[in-house]
Structure 1
Amino acid sequence: MTADTTTPLEQVNTALSQLKEMRHYSKTYVEQLTAQWLLFDGALKKLKQASSFEDLMTRQAEFHAALDEEIGELEALATSLQPAPEAEAA
């Protein structure tokens, strides 16, 4: 299907699906990085390099919060774009 033949609901659902997939993989990778970070935390603090990594961890948490918020908004939009059930319309 091309963009010209898809409905707004289909477009929202496609974007929603992609964002959920992004969130899933991002969360998985961040969990792996966090585990690795914990292994090197002490050594990096001794080298005074821990603050930049801590900043990255904070920013990734902010990214996930924003991503979850956007997913919620798209889910609400998808719900509002749902056609009325035919049983109720009749």
Structure 2
Amino acid sequence: MSDEHAKTPADHVGDTVAQLKEMRHYSKNNVETLTAAWLLFDGELSKLKQTEKIADLMDRQGQLHEALENAIADLEELLEKIKPEPQAEA
């Protein structure tokens, strides 16, 4: 990117939103994968007294996913407020 078109605060917020959305995508996939593993091995993990570890991970992953959703919504709202107005062509 040239000095002529330095990134604006709106550009930086937009980049951050894009990165958070990518994280959200992977977070969702991780939650789904962990849930599938949990359902598959719940009986065995229970016998081995390991269910609390997986349940804790699932809770934490769910909290991360929710926090990502909130951060994305907040930043998208901010982005709408700070976006420069389109310039009319002369």
- Fold agreement, TM-score > 0.5: yes
Coordinate RMSD, CA, aligned: 2.1
* Secondary structure at the counterpart of residue 84 of structure 2: coil
2:78 maps to 77
- Structure 1 segments unaligned to the other structure (5+ residues): none
- Structure 2 segments unaligned to the other structure (5+ residues): none
The equivalences for 1:48-67 within 5 A come to 48-67=49-68
The equivalences for 1:1-90 within 5 A come to 1=1, 5-85=6-86
Aligned residues: 87
Quote the sequence identity (%): 52
* Secondary structure at the counterpart of residue 6 of structure 1: coil
**Which aligned runs of 4 or more in structure 1 are off by greater than 6 angstroms?**
none
Q: Distance in 2 between matches of 1:59 and 1:48?
A: 19
Amino acid at match of 1:51: E
Q: Distance in 2 between matches of 1:62 and 1:26?
A: 10
Q: Kindly state the Cα deviation for residue 85 of structure 1 after the two structures are TM-superposed.
A: 4.7
Amino acid at match of 1:70: A
- When the two structures are superposed, what TM-score results if normalisation uses the length of structure 1? 0.85
Q: Kindly state the Cα deviation for residue 20 of structure 1 after the two structures are TM-superposed.
A: 0.2
- When the two structures are superposed, what TM-score results if normalisation uses the length of structure 2? 0.85
